[in-house]
């Protein structure tokens, strides 16, 4: 049976009343349409985001009865990237809006599917058109949402934890135990959301050392790449050519406070800022190149928060705190009682994101300035 594809939201087209009111998906879609032509608001600063989140994390706040949003989860028991309706029972198969599993992907060779046995991160790419997937079994893949076609995949040895699409359609991935940042050079024909599909793994074009690599984000405004390690955050300029891409280190900063032990790095909708996790939850200011401590929360098993994601206006946080080893069946709101956003019995979610467009990393159609 054909499923409706999930709606992705941009900060350009989000009505705050859609979150705090009791609106369903249809009403939310109408609000998005009405607001799409209103123009983009200036991004708020990282310091403003820090104030917003300090007033939310670990404190009581009103949870909307209907968000109209979807949640993208990295699920490891049944290895897949999966999108759920947030306002639904996740144990009901009808709550699944979309999923991708390497086991069902004809573009991924059978001998390579084990690379994706432990999906650890998935994020929107090319607006609402693709999903970028990283698996600690050493795989990274870009999948078109409309037909589940795998447009790119590659081997990223050493427990990859994150990836990003670059403005020319190339891909970068970062590995923790492998301590590497790796570039993958795609041909012009294989780049972008309309590519015909992978015919095999793309080899590594270049690699760089970064101890404990866990997060990587393309910064479209400054045209730089941010890479988060266990002890440092590094800013790279993307240079070279499309066929022979390179990273040139611009700046390297030591992680302090709750940023130590860096794990997650993700864009904050509506703000010129990134949210990060390590010893706790932080906000990173890419202008001042500094972290703001927000909230310390460690699970009883001593694992920290694996991921943080914000609603389209940046005001309401969702986090993933492991309750058993490194996973949980329930991403939660960041309130004082950690109310589940949704629960899939027996699931092993490693990270979860609101299905919200990442304008911070917008690369257009992947045909940008590099030839």
Domain definitions of the chain by residue range: 11-361
**1 pLDDT above the threshold of 90:** no
**Residue 16 CB neighbours (<10 A):** 13
Q: What is the pLDDT of residues 43-77, one digit of tens each?
A: 899 999 999 999 999 999 999 888 899 999 999 99
Residue 95 CA to its chain's centroid (Å):
21
Q: Which of 25, 358, 365, 319 lies closest to 163 in space, CA to CA?
A: 358
Least confident piece of the model among 147-156, 246-255, 335-344, 359-368: 359-368
Q: Does residue 313 or residue 247 have the better pLDDT?
A: 247
State the DSSP string of 218-254.
Answer: EETTTTEEEEE-SSEEEEEEEEE-SSSEEEEEEEEEE
Question: Within the chain, what is the greatest distance between any pair of CA atoms?
Answer: 51
At residue 104's C-alpha, the angle toward residues 115 and 121, to 5°, is 45
Per-residue pLDDT band at 19 (split at 50, 70, 90):
very low
* pLDDT at residue 313 in the model: 82
Find out whether 57 and 317 touch, Cβ atoms under 8 Å: yes
Angle in degrees, CA 261, 264, 265, rounded to 5:
115
Express each pLDDT in 188-211 by its tens digit.
999 999 999 999 999 999 999 999
Strand partners, 83: 72, 98
Through-space distance between the first and last CA atoms of the chain, rounded to whole angstroms: 41
Residue-averaged pLDDT of the chain: 88
> What digits encode the pLDDT tens for the residues 137-186?
999 999 999 999 999 999 999 999 999 999 999 999 999 999 999 999 99
Between the alpha carbon of residue 132 and those of residues 62, 116, 152, 217, 370, the distances in Å are: 32, 12, 9, 12, 21
**pLDDT exceeds cutoff 50 at 20:** no
- Per residue in 99-128, pLDDT tens? 999 999 999 999 999 999 999 999 999 998
CATH class of the structural domain 11-361: mainly beta
pLDDT recorded at residue 28:
34
């Amino acid at each position: 049976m054909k499923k409706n594809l999930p709606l992705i939201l941009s900060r350009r087209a989000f009505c705050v009343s859609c979150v705090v009111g009791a609106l369903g998906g249809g009403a939310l879609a109408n609000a998005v349409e009405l607001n799409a032509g209103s123009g983009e608001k200036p991004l708020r600063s990282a310091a403003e985001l820090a104030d917003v989140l300090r007033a939310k994390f670990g404190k009581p706040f009103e949870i909307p009865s209907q968000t109209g949003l979807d949640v993208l989860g990295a699920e490891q028991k049944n290895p897949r990237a999966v999108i759920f309706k947030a306002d639904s029972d996740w144990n009901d198969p009808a709550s699944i809006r979309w999923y991708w599993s390497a086991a069902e992907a004809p573009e991924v060779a059978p001998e390579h599917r084990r690379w994706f046995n432990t999906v650890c991160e998935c994020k929107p790419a090319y607006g609402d058109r693709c999903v970028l997937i990283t698996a600690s079994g050493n795989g990274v893949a870009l999948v078109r949402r409309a037909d589940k076609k795998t447009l790119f995949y590659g081997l990223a040895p050493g427990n990859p934890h994150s990836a990003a699409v670059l403005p020319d359609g190339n891909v970068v991935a970062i590995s923790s135990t492998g301590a590497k940042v790796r570039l993958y050079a795609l041909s012009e024909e294989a780049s972008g959301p309309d590519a015909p599909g992978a015919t095999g793994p793309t080899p590594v074009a270049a690699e760089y050392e970064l101890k404990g690599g866990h997060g990587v984000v393309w910064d479209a405004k400054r045209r730089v790449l941010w890479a988060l390690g266990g002890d440092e955050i590094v800013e790279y300029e993307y240079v070279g050519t499309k066929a022979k891409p390179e990273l040139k280190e611009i700046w390297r900063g030591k992680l302090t406070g709750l940023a130590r032990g860096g794990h997650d790095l993700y864009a904050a909708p509506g703000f010129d800022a990134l949210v990060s996790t390590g010893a706790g939850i932080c906000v990173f200011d890419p202008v001042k190149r500094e972290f703001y401590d927000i909230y310390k929360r460690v699970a009883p098993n001593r694992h920290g928060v694996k991921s943080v994601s914000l609603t389209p206006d940046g005001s309401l946080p969702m986090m993933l705190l492991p309750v058993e080893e490194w996973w949980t069946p329930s991403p939660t709101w960041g309130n004082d009682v950690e109310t589940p956003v949704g629960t899939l019995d027996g699931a092993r979610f490693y990270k979860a994101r609101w299905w919200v467009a990442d304008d911070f990393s917008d690369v257009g159609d992947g045909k940008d300035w590099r030839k």
